[in-house]
Amino acid sequence: MTKPAKKNTKTPKSWKFKILLFLLVMIVAGAAALAGYVYILDKEVQTKFSGEKWQLPVWIYSRPLELHRNQKISLKQLENELVTLNYRKVYDPQNPGEYAVEGNNVVIIKRPFRFYDGDEKERALFLQFANDRIQTLKDAKTGATLAAARMDPIILDRITMGNEEDRIKITLQDVNEKLIPILTTIEDRDFYDHFGIKPTSIARAMIANIRAGRNVQGGSTLTQQLVKNFYLTSERSLSRKIKEALMSLIVEYRYSKNEILEAYLNEIYLGQNGSNGVYGFGLASYFYFGLPVRELDVGQISTLVAIIRGPSYYDPWRHKERTRERRDLILKKLLDEDIITPAEYDKYASQDIEVLARGKAIYGKTPAYVDLVKREIREKMGDEILKVSGLKVFTSFDPNAQRAAENAVEKIGAEFKKRYPEIQIAFAIANWHKGEVIGLVGGRDYATKGMFNRAIDAHRPIGSTIKPIVYLTGFAEKNYQLSTVIDDSSLTVHYGKQEWRPRNFDHKYHGKVFLRDALAKSLNIPAVRVGVDVKIKNVIKNLQAVGVDQELQAYPSLLLGTVEMSPLEMTQMFSVFASQGYYKPLTSIRAIVDKNDELIYRENEDAKRIFNAQDTYLLTQGLINVVKSGTARSLNSILPNVNIAGKTGTTDDGKDSWFAGYDNDDVFAVWVGTDDNKPTGYTGSSGALKVFNSYVQERGASSISIAVPKGIANQRFNRFGNPIENDCKLEGSIVVPAKVSALGSVEPCYYYSE
C-alpha cells in the first residue's frame, strides 16, 4: 500500500507581502538616492554660497572734492559737483546726500565713504563763499572751524571684462532701514518664520495666476527666489521646482536669515542696461535713481520692489503707468500693514515715477579718461589685474575741469563745424603740483562714439609750441636771457648737402628783437637761430627729458615743430615748465584697493629735476608775456589781472592748431584739426586758443605765483640787450627778470634814437 505524500506545512508568501517588501526596498533605495542627491546639492550650495559668490566689476572713482578755507571754487562749481553726485537740494538738510543754499551760504550733509586711506564719516558742513572762494568752513552742528573736509567721489565707470552680470555689492548695513520691511512684506511676509518654502503660498499663487491668466502673484519665498537666480536656470519644469525646493531647505538650514537676505539683495535681477543685466539693489539704486541704496525713499524702494515681479513687464521707462500702478499697490499694502503712515502714503502715491533718463546713470560718461585709466592699470600691473573681482580704482579725475572742457569743445566745436564739418578737438588737463591728469576730452564725438582717443593717440606736428623748449635749451646751454637780442633777418641753414631757409609766419623780417618779444610774437627765424646755436641734438635731448618717447632726427625743421606729439604728451612737457624744472610722469591713478578695501597700489613716484629753477622761471615769465602781449593776448582780455603762461602753435597750411599753457594749479593742452590731416586755416590763436578761452571762462584760473629763485632779479636792458644800472627811459628798453650772475658789465644810461 502506497503511503500518502507528506503535506508541506510551510505557508507560501502572500502577494501582499511581496508588494510590501518591494515597496520597502524602493523606499530605502529612494531614500538613499534622495540622501545622496541632497548631499550633492548641499555641497553645491555650500561651495557657491560660502565662496566667492560673484565676479564683481572693477569700479573707477573720481577724486573726492577736498574743501578748505580760501580754496578757489565758486558756489556754482560746488553746486555742479553736488548735482553730479546726486545730492538733493532741500530746505532743511537732515540726511546724507542733502544740501541747502541761502545766499552765499551752503549747508551740506556729506555722505560717509571708505577711501583707500581711511573712512570719512557722515558730517554736516557749513560753507560761506566770497569772491569765488571758500571764506568759512565749519561743522554745521558744533560750529567748530574745520581745516578741511573731503566729499565722496563720483563713480566714473565700471569694467566688467565680458561678464554680463553687473552689480554693486552691498551689506545690510548699507541699506535704508525701510527696505527690508517693505521687501519682506511684499515678497515674503513670513520670511523670518518659514524654513525655506511655503506650500500653501505656492498653491494660493497657482490658483490666483490661473484665474488671472497671467503671473499676478508669486508663491516663491525670498529663499526660493534667491536659489532660482543664484543656482538654477529659468527652465520651467517639475524637476527644477523640486530641486529649487530642496536647495531652499538646505540654504535655510545652513545659513542665517540675514545671510540669505544679504545674498538676495545682491543677486536679484532688476533690469537690463544694454547688454549687461542690472543685478542687486546696490546697482539698481544707481541705475534708476543715481543714489546709494541707503538714500532711497519709500517711493523709490517701492518702485524697485515692484520691478522684482517682472523687470521687463514693469520697466519704468517703457511701462511707466503700469509700474506706477504696481508701486501704488505696494504702498497701499504698506499702509495696511502700518509700515508707513497715511501721510507717507499720500506723499509717495501722489508722486510720478521719477527715474533717470535711460542710459543717463552717473557712470560711463567719461570714456576718454577711463580709457587712460585702463591703459595705465595695464601698464603698471598687467592685463590680469582687471579680471580681479571687486577692485576699486581711485583716480585724479576732476568733474569741474572735465565739465568745462567738454562744454568748451561742444560750444566752439559746433561753431567750427559750420566751416569744417570734420573738425576735431582734443583737450588734456593736469594738476602740475601733483602730476595728475584731471580731465581728458578725446574728440568732439568721443563720448558717444568712443573710437579714437585723440587726446592720447593723435600724434600731430606741434608747430610753434616747440619754441619754449628751444629757448629753455638756450637758457640752459648758452646762458641766453629774455633780454638777449636776436637777429630776425634772412637765414640759410646748411645741413649735409642741403640748405633750408626758414620764414616767419607773416613773411616779414623784424630786425633786432629781444628774445622775449620773439617768443611772444612766435617769430620763427630767432627760434631757429637759437636752436642751431645751442645744437639741435641738445634740443632733442631736452624733448626726450620732458617725456617725448620717440626717436628724433636732428633736422633743422624740428626747431619749428615737425615733432609729433599728442595733447597728453604736450601737457606732460608743459608740466615741467610749470613746476620749475621737475619731471614727474603724469598719472590718472591715485590708488587701487581690493574687494576687502586692502591697498594693493598707491602712486608715489618722486619728481626729478631736469632743469634749474632760474631757467624755467625765465621761461614762465616769457610765456606770461605771450598771453599779455603776444599771440595769446585774447586770453588776457578775458582774464586781464591773471597771470597765465601759454604758447600757441600752428603747422603748415593750418593743419594743426595748438594752445598749451598753465596757471598756478593746472597745465593744459588743446589741439584742433582733422583726422585726415587736411588744412583748416585755423591758427593756434583762432583755433585751439578759442577753445581754451571758452574753457577758462567757466573753469576760471589762478594767477601764477612762483617764488623768485635765488640768482634772479628784475633788470632793465637797452635795445642792444645790455643791462642798464638806472631807471632812465630808453627807447626800446625793457625790464625783465634776468640771471644776476650772468649780467656782465653795467653800461651808463644813454639815450638811443634812430
CB 394 within 8 A of CB 118: no
Secondary structure in 3-state letters for 381-406: HCHHHHHCCCCEEEECCCHHHHHHHH
HSE of 687, CA atoms in CB hemisphere, 13 A:
31
Q: Give start and end residues of each alpha helix (H) in 15-163.
A: 15-50, 75-84
User: CA-based angle 597:600:602, to the nearest 5?
Assistant: 105
Distance in angstroms (rounded) separating the CA atoms of residues 697 and 683:
21
Q: Which of 712, 718, 710, 711 is nearest to 750 (CA)?
A: 718
| Cross-strand partners of 734 | 717
Distance in angstroms (rounded) separating the CA atoms of residues 545 and 608:
10
CB 226 within 8 A of CB 260: yes
The three cell numbers locating residue 665: 594749479
CB 441 within 8 A of CB 425: yes
H helix or E strand, kind and range, residue 648 = strand 645-650
Q: What is the DSSP letter of 234?
A: S
What Å distances lie between residue 500 and 487, 522, 525, 534, 731, CA to CA? 17, 19, 11, 18, 34
Distance in angstroms (rounded) separating the CA atoms of residues 147 and 737:
37
Q: Which of 81, 187, 436, 698 is catalytic?
A: 187
Distance in angstroms (rounded) separating the CA atoms of residues 231 and 226:
8
Distance in angstroms (rounded) separating the CA atoms of residues 507 and 486:
17
As a residue count, the chain comes to 754
Distance in angstroms (rounded) separating the CA atoms of residues 633 and 626:
7
Distance in angstroms (rounded) separating the CA atoms of residues 171 and 155:
19
Outline where DSSP puts E strands in 406-478.
423-431, 436-441, 460-461
Q: Which of 543, 565, 571, 547 is nearest to 440 (CA)?
A: 571
3-state secondary structure of 373: helix
Q: Which of 396, 464, 483, 566 is catalytic?
A: 464
What Å distances lie between residue 678 and 211, 293, 411, 431, 656, CA to CA? 70, 51, 22, 32, 9
Distance in angstroms (rounded) separating the CA atoms of residues 539 and 546:
11
**φ/ψ of residue 37, rounded to 5:** -65, -45
Element counts in the chain: helices (H) and strands (E)? 23, 33
464 is catalytic: yes
Q: Which of 395, 405, 400 is nearest to 428 (CA)?
A: 405
User: CA-based angle 51:56:62, to the nearest 5?
Assistant: 140
Could you tell me which residues come within 8 angstroms of residue 108 by beta carbon, excluding any fewer than 6 positions away?
A: 82, 87, 93, 98, 99, 124, 125, 127, 140, 151
Distance in angstroms (rounded) separating the CA atoms of residues 206 and 219:
7
The three cell numbers locating residue 213: 491668466
Q: Which of 566, 531, 447 is nearest to 156 (CA)?
A: 447
User: Distance between terminal CA atoms of the chain?
Assistant: 173
| Cross-strand partners of 99 | 89, 108
CB 123 within 8 A of CB 110: yes
Work out the burial of residue 109: count CB atoms within 10 Å of its CB; fewer than 13 is exposed, 13-18 middle, 19 or more buried: buried
Q: What is the DSSP letter of 66?
A: E
- Residues noted as catalytic: 187, 464
